[in-house]
Structure 1
Amino acid sequence: MHIIGVLISVFILNVSNGLKLQEQFSWSKVEFNWPSLTDKKNSLQSGHYIPKNNVILGIERWKDVLFVTVPRWKFGVASTLNYIHLSDTSLSPKLTPYPSWETNLLSNEPSESSLVSTYRIKVDECDRLWVVDDGIDNFIDGPTQIAPAAIVIFDLNRNQLIRRFIIPHKLIKPDSFLANTVIDTPKDDCDNSFAYIADAGAFGIIVYSFKENRAWKIHHNFFHIDPMSGLFKVSDISFTWNDGVFGMALHNLKHDSSREVFFHSLSGTKEFVVSNEILKNDSYAISTDTVYEEFRVVGDRGEKGHSTTEVLDRKNNVMFFTQVARNGIGCWNLNSPLNSTTAVLVDSDAVSLIMPIDITLDREGFIWVVSNRMPHFLHDRMDFEDNNYRILVAKSDDLIKGTICDIN
């Protein structure tokens, strides 16, 4: 694969839908760039590719590339980590496996570079792609552990595997769901990076030190669900989820080189914060009792404020977050207290933004969003004659313009 090594201006489609976020790409079903038509035909016949079981979930931008994940939640996912070029003018481009087809092929004897199933991915300041692979096939209908859960890191400038770290078995519980990841990289110190991985099912944050090549797990009551916030209604489907700590975002460095880590549960509407110095201290993996009050409540987004992921625009000091029960994207200016008045929608649509599942901010200030109608997928109610998966984009400044989040 060849990745264009220059930054490009994002080509935003001129879609007149009244939204600030504009559709860049959309699909009714997920299609791949197969090595040949014979490979595709054989995969369809063998069941290694079942189009309706492939759902787009996570995104991350790097230069001319948009990485796209397709978790192996059901049988028949052809490739879990993929990319498309932003210069591709197709409305529904085919996904190309990254870094290769071989890496993404499901095998009972996975190699060092094999990828089984990944949800969300992150590119750090050092041009490294961080991938958390839970190693599970058919997660929803009957999970099979193909490979141990691992952190897999690629050098994007060379398209080479840097490291595969097997997450210790003692940190993974039967209910573990490694939902999200943020990468904490100090300025000009790539080796001193930390990954914070939200375990939404077992209510903890796994911390990985790149320099020491080891991991530990932090627990706290704030990582659990809010029992009063487990009911969701998306589009025409009502359901309950019990996912704990899910969304996370990093604040700017402080004068002492620490930074705050914001986090929240999916089954909840409150936002919390803790210093990264707490997470990076492995002595608190035993107990956080002595620093319990260092985990603080920031505020509450209010009714229907459930959010999967969030990202902080540090230039504007504005948090953007998905609003899954409101078919939209919200914002909160950190200069204000967080409540139902200050956490406002910047965009919403009952078609294009059904279940906004992931959000990311690129280096040029563009907000990218994936919507994927997840409840319909889980309940086998997808209409494959319609567009089900969308990637939308807008400039951060444009999204907050005219809202309470715009300090100007």
Structure 2
Amino acid sequence: MSSNFHFPGEVNADRKERPPNYPGGSSGNRATIDENYIPYSNVPMGVSRYKNKLFVTLPRRRPGIPSTLNYINLMKLGNDINPKFIPYPNYDFNKLNSTLIPDSNRIISVYRTRPDYKCGRLWFIDTGVLEYPDNIQQIQQPSIWILDLENGGKPLRRFEIPANIVTTGRGLASITVDVDVNCDDAFAYIPDLQTYHLYVYSYRMNSIWSFSHNYLSFDPIAGDLDIGGVQFQWSDGIFSLTLGNKMSNGFRNAYFHPMASHSEFVVSTKVLQNQTNADRSWHGNDFMFLGIRGINKQSTMHDFHTKSGTIFYAEIQNNGIGCWNTNKKFCSCNHEIIHSDVDKMIYPSDLTIDDEDNIWVMSNTMPRYIYSRLDPNEYNFRIWTTTVKKAVQGTLCE
């Protein structure tokens, strides 16, 4: 196992600072919302880097989260292992309306972000949901947001997903961006882990369509999990999609997997980008089964490194990171755990690769947060990073 991953920063549940001028409230029902900052509620989920900004998301799964989309200023990080989160692009954009009236100028809850390095844009899904225990509320319709990273996070577009496509945003935990030569010829692929659908959004057409297939569902044999000393059962379907290099036909392989699964699947973006294909009840061999990664190799997020052709997996039962070089046959014999830490990398919730070949991983001890309790005197959340070159050195993926 590799020890090339290290901490650029660690966030403790009791050590985030309350943002300035943060308003208070008095209740948590549909009419008003309690906006008092509650440190324990703030569990980071996603991580991605663009230049000097390291974006960190905190989906609103409990009351007391002042800002769902944030960043860490890497230029000012220094030796600080408890970096301050800065709302992006500002606090008002993240602030909940005290009456919970839908507001197209604000976001409710974000799980993960993906920078579009070619065009300097940040893409994410606002689920529109407050996932408070015993009080789940769909405040506004889920929407796709695209922000201008070169212009202070200025919103370039908000696309509200029609209700006939999505009725709840609870399963919209990730987004994958596909950009060709022209920035207007962009597509986004959005897995729905709850309804087992895959949505495709065309930037040029400003339109969205939905695919349904059995491979998007969970594997009942892989739903029993034991993570961080907590045993539970999940049925999360398609969770992550990552894109391979462009092929001779101008399209890419889209590799995807359900979270409650040991398997990996693939479909061509040529299939996904043709809206008429979404209306078919039979897809023939368009969606293909690649194989099984191995036992206890359920994965949340994965990402493709274009230069080496290697896919890196965030493996939740192994408390670590696995890899597969796509130039080799897909089989368990060609998959390897390149880093694992049963104490510190509990539940790697996100994994991204930036445009400088750095891997970024968030681990957040989520199962303990949901089913048990976090110890606020310990570091429960960590951001890990290393280079691709160091990560694969001496492994099957080199």
Q: TM class by shorter-chain length? A: over 0.9
Match in the other structure for 1:171: 165
Q: CA RMSD in A?
A: 1.9
Match in the other structure for 1:121: 113
CA 211–139 in structure 1, closer or farther in 2 if over 3 Å, else same: farther
Distance in 2 (CA, whole Å) between partners of 1:202 and 1:344 is 31
Distance in 1 (CA, whole Å) between partners of 2:266 and 2:133 is 31
Distance in 1 (CA, whole Å) between partners of 2:368 and 2:35 is 22
CA contact (8 A) 2:18 2:37 kept: no
Distance in 1 (CA, whole Å) between partners of 2:133 and 2:293 is 29
Match in the other structure for 2:198: 205
Residue 316 (structure 1) aligned with residue 308 (structure 2): yes
Distance in 2 (CA, whole Å) between partners of 1:139 and 1:300 is 35
Match in the other structure for 1:336: 328
- Structure 2 counterpart of 1:168, one-letter code: P
Q: Please state how far the C-alpha of 1:48 moved relative to its aligned partner.
A: 3.0
Q: Please state how far the C-alpha of 1:287 moved relative to its aligned partner.
A: 2.1
Distance in 1 (CA, whole Å) between partners of 2:322 and 2:25 is 40
1:103-142 to 2 correspondence within 5 Å? 103-107=93-97, 108-124=100-116, 125-142=118-135
Match in the other structure for 1:93: 83
Aligned-residue identity in percent: 34
Residue 244 (structure 1) aligned with residue 237 (structure 2): yes
Question: Which runs of 5 or more structure 2 residues have no equivalent in the other structure?
Answer: 28-33
Residue 26 (structure 1) aligned with residue 4 (structure 2): no
Q: Please state how far the C-alpha of 1:113 moved relative to its aligned partner.
A: 2.6
Match in the other structure for 1:294: 286
Distance in 2 (CA, whole Å) between partners of 1:18 and 1:277 is 37
The C-alpha deviation readout for 1:323-361, integer Å capped at 9, x for no partner, is 100010000011222222211100001122111110000
Q: Please state how far the C-alpha of 1:256 moved relative to its aligned partner.
A: 1.6
Match in the other structure for 2:44: 56
> Structure 1 residue aligned with 2:386, among 387, 394, 397?
394
Distance in 1 (CA, whole Å) between partners of 2:273 and 2:281 is 12
CA contact (8 A) 2:2 2:391 kept: no
CA 106–92 in structure 1, closer or farther in 2 if over 3 Å, else same: same
CA contact (8 A) 1:44 1:50 kept: no
TM-score normalised to the size of structure 1?
0.91
Question: Which runs of 5 or more structure 1 residues have no equivalent in the other structure?
Answer: 1-16
Distance in 2 (CA, whole Å) between partners of 1:41 and 1:211 is 39
The C-alpha deviation readout for 1:260-301, integer Å capped at 9, x for no partner, is 100000010100000001111111222251x33111111111
Moved more, 139-148 or 267-276: 139-148
Q: Please state how far the C-alpha of 1:75 moved relative to its aligned partner.
A: 1.4
CA 185–139 in structure 1, closer or farther in 2 if over 3 Å, else same: farther
Count of matched residue positions in the alignment of Structure 1 and Structure 2 = 386
TM-score normalised to the size of structure 2?
0.93
Match in the other structure for 2:30: none
Distance in 2 (CA, whole Å) between partners of 1:93 and 1:43 is 27
Match in the other structure for 1:4: none
Q: Please state how far the C-alpha of 1:234 moved relative to its aligned partner.
A: 0.5
Match in the other structure for 1:78: 66
- Structure 1 counterpart of 2:213, one-letter code: H
The C-alpha deviation readout for 1:149-176, integer Å capped at 9, x for no partner, is 0001101111211111000111114585
CA 32–163 in structure 1, closer or farther in 2 if over 3 Å, else same: farther
CA 32–241 in structure 1, closer or farther in 2 if over 3 Å, else same: same
Distance in 2 (CA, whole Å) between partners of 1:330 and 1:376 is 22
Distance in 1 (CA, whole Å) between partners of 2:391 and 2:105 is 39
CA 18–43 in structure 1, closer or farther in 2 if over 3 Å, else same: farther
